[in-house]
Chain A
Amino acid sequence: MIITKQKSFENILNYIADESSIFIFGCGDCATLCRTGGEEEIKEMSEKIKKIGKKVTGIAIANAPCHELDTARIFRKYKEQISQSDGILVLACGAGVQAAREATEKKVHPGCDSLFIGNSKRHMNFYEKCSACGDCVLNEFGGICPVTRCPKSLLNGPCCGSLDGKCEINQTVECVWIKIFERLKLEGRLSTLDTIHSPKNHSDTIHPGKIE
């Protein structure tokens, strides 16, 4: 899922400073799990906006706003409330904000910052394990991604700066290269690490990605 954090209310207020009526749109999927754009957060945001004297013309939530046809359908359903608003505050990732933009001519404002593609282990704990690099190397590294989980994306071994098994730039994170080493040892295929990996081909992942 896409991990988000809500922007500060002060920041959001700056976006909507010149608007007196707002429509709020949220996400029933990732932003709900992140507690940044689910039903509860939309209601909370609605109360805060009303408290400062602005009108909230309506609220809506899509199962997944990044599904653009779904978002367009919801926007048609809430046509009346949206037309009464000066702008739309979207509590979702950047993909959701842009899906909303596709569905309306009103101004859209991001209410969240998108952080990373995340796995979750327990409530509100998220971990980046895949960065969609376009050329999956997990088979070679015991199912642990050095492209994403090593801050230097090293493909040929550790930087050797780890201290007590922790990453040199983040003492709360284990050095992923030690994890790879231990895993491949367990699997009895440590010799896989002898291969020199060529530089990654970045031409395959030039933004914006597109499949039609």
Chain B
Amino acid sequence: MHLSELFDKNKFVVTVELPPPKGTEVQKTLDIAKSLKGIVDGINVTDNQRAIMRMSSLAFSHLIKDTGNEPIMQICCRDRNRIALKSDILGAGALGIKNLCLMTGDHTLVGDHPEAKPVFDIDSIQLIQLARKLESGRNISSNLSFSIGGVANPFSEPFDLQKIKLKKKVQAGATFFQTQPFFDHESILEFVDDVKEINARFLIGFTPLKSVKMIHFMNKYILTKPIPKPVSIRIEKSNNQALEGIKIVVELIKKIRDLTDKINGIHIMPLGLENHLPDILMKL
């Protein structure tokens, strides 16, 4: 089902992220996907995230669809020019993929092929426009209809500049956003207040922190604002850090799930704790 249909019904939408394998062994991740059937509304299939080479998001989205789940195919602009991107979007449509999450993508320099040519022929906003143009079917025969989303970084400074970009994504045709992860309640409230004028649905992002090592990694390489001190102290003091990380996510989600007038759902990026997804979701 289109995510937009769920949004229209005011459902609290739950999406998770599953990366395609680095190789052709797909069963392990597909088994996780099968265990999520009926629990989640969509599974984001990442597109060589962090510029690290993996199986294509198009192929793996198709396999995810075969498990009975709704894939949200992520497409980024780093590795393909406009011809290849459009070609993949047509392919996605023909394979019955209904949801797209379109983004610029991390630079090649941060990944495992730093010597590769970064493409960036177009950016996320132009990609959203191109996808919408393909739907309108000008010059080609197509019966495409997608729910198109983008990503939002709540901690990007200056936030006014981020807001200009979010508005442009909506103007280009995005109807929902999945955010980078939050680690405390106050920041979520602040963010939803900041974006209330933006006419789109917001899925608030979460990532369970599995260790102090992960906190250091996230702070250094992934996040634009460090994880709040009380959260990192809580993980540090725990005897079972992964479990504590999951507990924090569950607590945060429980606190916000009644704010349905402001929040349209959640998006969990497990970053290595994919096996724990059913457990996290059952606890909600």
Contacts and interface: CB of A to CB of B under 8 A. Distances in A.
Interface of A: 151-163, 165, 168-169, 177-178, 181, 190, 193-194, 196-199, 202
B77 to A, nearest CB: 8
A153 B129 contact: no
B110 A168 contact: yes
B126 A194 contact: no
A196 B107 contact: no
Nearest to A202: B121
A161 B157 CA distance: 9
Chain A interface helix/strand/loop/mixed: loop
Contact of A196 (B109, B158, B168): B168
B158 A181 contact: yes
Contacts of A154: 104, 120, 123
Contacts of A194: 164, 167-168
12 contacts: A152-B77, A152-B120, A157-B125, A158-B165, A160-B153, A160-B162, A161-B153, A162-B156, A197-B126, A198-B126, A199-B121, A199-B126
B126 A157 contact: no
A165 B83 CA distance: 33
B125 A196 contact: yes
Contact of A157 (B82, B168, B224): B168
A169 B167 CA distance: 25
A91 B124 CA distance: 42
A165 B168 CA distance: 22
A181 B164 CA distance: 10
Q: 7 smallest A-B Cβ distances: which pairs?
A: A157-B165, A160-B156, A160-B153, A156-B125, A199-B122, A152-B120, A181-B161
B172 A178 contact: no
Contacts, number: 80
Nearest to B120: A152
A156 B157 CA distance: 16
A181 B107 CA distance: 22
Interface of B: 77-78, 82, 104, 106-107, 109-110, 118, 120-126, 129, 153, 156-158, 160-162, 164-165, 167-168, 171-172, 224
A152 B158 contact: no
Pick the most buried of A153, A160, A196: most chain B CB atoms within 10 A of its CB: A160
Contact of A152 (B123, B129, B157, B160): B123
A181 B158 CA distance: 9
Contacts of B106: 161, 168
Contacts of B165: 156-158, 160
Nearest to B225: A163
Nearest to B152: A160
A131 B106 CA distance: 22
A153 B161 contact: no
A199 B86 CA distance: 13
A158 B162 contact: yes
A153 B124 CA distance: 12
Nearest to B164: A193
A159 B109 CA distance: 15
Given A152-B118, A160-B162, A162-B224, A199 B168 contact: no
A71 B192 CA distance: 65
Given A154-B123, A199-B126, A162 B157 contact: yes
Nearest to B107: A169
Given A159-B104, A199-B121, 14 more contacts: A152-B77, A152-B118, A153-B120, A155-B126, A156-B123, A158-B161, A160-B165, A161-B153, A162-B157, A162-B224, A165-B157, A169-B107, A178-B161, A181-B161
